[in-house]
Amino acid sequence: MRTISVLGATGSIGASTLDLIRRAPDDWRVLALTANGNAADLARLAREFGAEIAVVADEASLPALREALAGSGIAAAGGAAALVEAAARGADLTVAAIVGCAGLAPTMAAIECGKTVALANKEALVSAGDVMLAAVARTGATLLPVDSEHNAIFQCLHGNDLADVRWITLTASGGPFRDWTLEQLHTATPAQAIKHPNWDMGAKISVDSATMFNKGLELIEAWHLFPVGLERLRIIVHPQSVIHSMVEYRDGSTLAQLGPSDMRVPIASSLAWPARMGTPCAPLDLAAIGELTFRAPDEVRFPATRLARQAAEAGGAAPAVLNAANEIAVAAFLAGQIGFTQIAVLVERMLERYAPEAPTTLDAVIAVDAQARVRSRELLESL
Ligand code: NDP
């Protein structure tokens, strides 16, 4: 039996993770489950899984959590420090599934324990790549990529030498607007953006998928996780989302990982790694799918991947600035304050205007992130 903590337990990745745990109750003991403000769902999950502690990041939700857990014997806590403490409980496996850079400090706390961290929270790695990987190297922690593309690449690289890699190709569904014209994109609404054709995900990543910032963040994520150099990382649009990514080697062999569009597959791969476990996912029926198609990304309609590549090339604080600006822009778009195409405009302007020194510590990354958010909000006013 292994111990597990799920940071972001009430979200989409949290639900998929707990669904797998529910099916193998003898394999896992749950230490910490966390949420932001959703005390009711968190308490329900904590009771179901017999967690040791449930934590809400938003302290205002702590009274509701306490009330919902009364008499259960499960500890309740609230606030940023409590979240970090819960992550630092040293579970054998911590699933980092908070959305946004808000997940950075708790994810780093889990890494500091030197155990295994299954990382879904891509924004944390994008913002703090060097700092996070230095902590992984120092503590001997194991970082397993949950993001379906990176999990696919991780599987395709197994047993191979990075020096033999010619290309790593990230596949992208292209999102719900992949066939829209630029004029149509100007009118895209939040409701349309969060309706992904293939995947069922949280609101923020769904918008990122529609703008292609998701693929941009993933490019930076891959650049950190698989150090083959930015020039060996490519993106291809593959609308069916069956091939989750590919690695081409110098002998001309291309290895690809295929699977259903269900996050329980890459999560199961991380939970069981280096072994395998069963999932309830339907087997891949290629005859029913019929065709797999591919096309080059269009960086005129979707500038996000160009901006992410520029940020990675610039290095230093640029990826953290890109991520923070995108988080602010997505929140503003979801709140109806800016149009869909203004998300990329805001990010591009922030990259042009704000170039702080490269952060070398966790606190410095958090400071860059905070400052970039303040400036992004100011810039929002001018849009
Ligand atoms: P959701 O929005 O569904 O869930 C987010 C989780 O994080 C919830 O538990 C939420 O709590 C919690 N949370 C939100 N804000 C904060 C905060 N400020 N402090 C602490 N906790 C917070 O997101 P997803 O599950 O879709 O995504 C999670 C991460 O996984 C993201 O980084 C995403 O990019 C990545 N990912 C997601 C995939 C997917 O299929 N969904 C695929 C690949 C990667 P509450 O419920 O209380 O708001």
pLDDT (tens digit per residue) in 17-46:
999 999 999 999 999 999 999 999 999 999
Nearest to 245, CA basis, from 294, 300, 178, 304: 294
Phi (first) and psi of residue 243, to 5 degrees: -85, 120
* d(CA 13, ligand 1 centre) in Å: 7
Contact, 21 vs 45, CB < 8 A? no
Lowest mean pLDDT among 15-29, 193-207, 292-306: 193-207
Please tell me if the CB atom of residue 127 comes closer than 6 angstroms to any atom of ligand 1.
no
The DSSP secondary structure of 77-126, one letter per residue, reads EESHHHHHHHHTT--SEEEE---SGGGHHHHHHHHHTTSEEEE--HHHHH
Q: Are 370 and 329 in contact (CB under 8 A)?
A: no
What single letter denotes the amino acid at residue 189? T
Contact 250, 185 (CB under 8 A): no
Q: Does domain 2-145 have CATH number 1.10.357.10?
A: no
For residue 31, give the nearest of 11, 9, 47, 53 by alpha carbon: 53
In the predicted model, what is the mean pLDDT of residues 218-229?
A: 98
Q: Which residue has the tokens 């810039």?
A: 379
How large a percentage of the chain has pLDDT more than 70? 100
pLDDT value at residue 196: 81
Q: How far apart are CA 328 and CA 127, in angstroms?
A: 14
From CA 342, how far away is CA 273, in angstroms rounded? 41
Spatial contact of 279 and 265, defined as CB atoms under 8 Å apart: yes
Residue 115's pLDDT is what?
98
- Token pair in block for residue 245: 């990514």
- The rounded distance, in Å, linking the Cα atoms of 8 and 13 is 8
What's at 291, amino acid-wise? E
For the Cβ of 102 lying below 6 angstroms from any atom of ligand 1, the answer is: yes
| pLDDT tens figures, 41-94 | 999 999 999 999 999 999 999 999 999 999 999 999 999 999 999 999 999 999
Helix 104-112 to helix 80-87 angle (10° resolution) is: 30
Decide: 104 in ligand 1 pocket, CB within 6 A.
no
- For residue 60, how far is its CA from the centre of ligand 1 (angstroms)? 19
Instruction: Tokens for 322, please give them.
Output: 């890109």
What pLDDT was estimated at residue 349? 98
pLDDT at residue 383, rounded to an integer: 82
CB 51 near ligand 1, within 6 Å: no
Q: Where are the domains of the chain?
A: 2-145, 150-314
pLDDT tens readout for residues 173-199: 999 999 999 999 999 999 999 998 888
- Rounded distance, CA 2 to CA 118, Å? 14
Q: Are 354 and 375 in contact (CB under 8 A)?
A: yes
Q: How far is the CA of 162 from the centre of ligand 1 (A)?
A: 31
Q: What residues contact residue 153 under an 8 Å CB cut-off, 6+ apart?
A: 145, 168, 170, 222, 225, 226, 245, 247, 257
Largest Cα–Cα distance in the chain? 62
- Residue 347: pLDDT band by 50, 70, 90 thresholds? very high
Six token digits for residue 46: 């904590």
Q: For residues 87 and 105, what is the distance between their CA atoms, to the nearest angstrom?
A: 9
pLDDT > 90? residue 382: no
Does the pLDDT of residue 214 top 90, yes or no? yes
CA-CA-CA-CA torsion sign (19, 23, 25, 26): negative
**Residue 357 per-residue DSSP state:** P
Q: Is the CB of 205 under 6 A from ligand 1?
A: yes
Average pLDDT over residues 271-276: 98
Q: Closest residue (by CA) to atom 48 of ligand 1?
A: 36
State the Cα–Cα distance between residues 271 and 116, nearest whole angstrom: 10
- What would the 3-class secondary structure string for 37-56 be? CCHHHHHHHHHHHCCCEEEE
Question: What's the pLDDT score for residue 157?
Answer: 98
Average pLDDT over residues 108-128: 98
Cβ neighbours for 103, distance < 8 A, ≥ 6 positions apart: 7, 8, 96, 97, 121, 123, 124
Sign of the Cα pseudo-torsion (338, 201, 75, 103, in order): negative
Average pLDDT, the chain: 97
Task: Report the DSSP beta bridge partners of residue 172.
Answer: 237
Q: Is the pLDDT of residue 200 over 90?
A: no
